[in-house]
Amino acid sequence: PALAQLVAEQAAAAGGGRFSLGLSGGSLVGILSRDLPAAAAGPAAPGRWLVAFCDERLVPPEHPESTGGAYKVSGAGPGRGSSAAPSAR
């Protein structure tokens, strides 16, 4: 929860401007997909977030080594259907 809260606080501090977030894979996928949707509400809502996958491999999204694919499968990636999830915009 502490990492998700820190991300949400920084996003809210952007004051409606663009908030950029670089995501890596590994254990971070599980942590953020569990904690970030609840933390990213109100002024931290991800409508103006720019999300980049920092260690993305050159593989299709459905490949097990795809960071973007891991977030999508976890429910925290683009297409989740909730405005509280990080999205690549």
Does the pLDDT at position 87 exceed 90?
no
Query: What is the per-residue pLDDT across 21-49, written as a single tens digit (0 to 9) for each?
Result: 999 988 899 999 899 999 988 889 989 89
The predicted pLDDT at position 77 comes to 59
Instruction: Based on DSSP, count helices (H) and strands (E) in the chain, helices before strands.
Output: 3, 2
Whole-number pLDDT of residue 67: 87
- What integer best gives the mean pLDDT of the chain? 82
- Provide CB contacts within 8 A for 20, sequence distance 6+: 49, 50, 51, 52
Taking only the tens place, the pLDDT of each residue in 38-77 is 998 888 998 989 998 887 788 898 898 888 888 888 876 5
Share of the chain above pLDDT 90, in %: 26
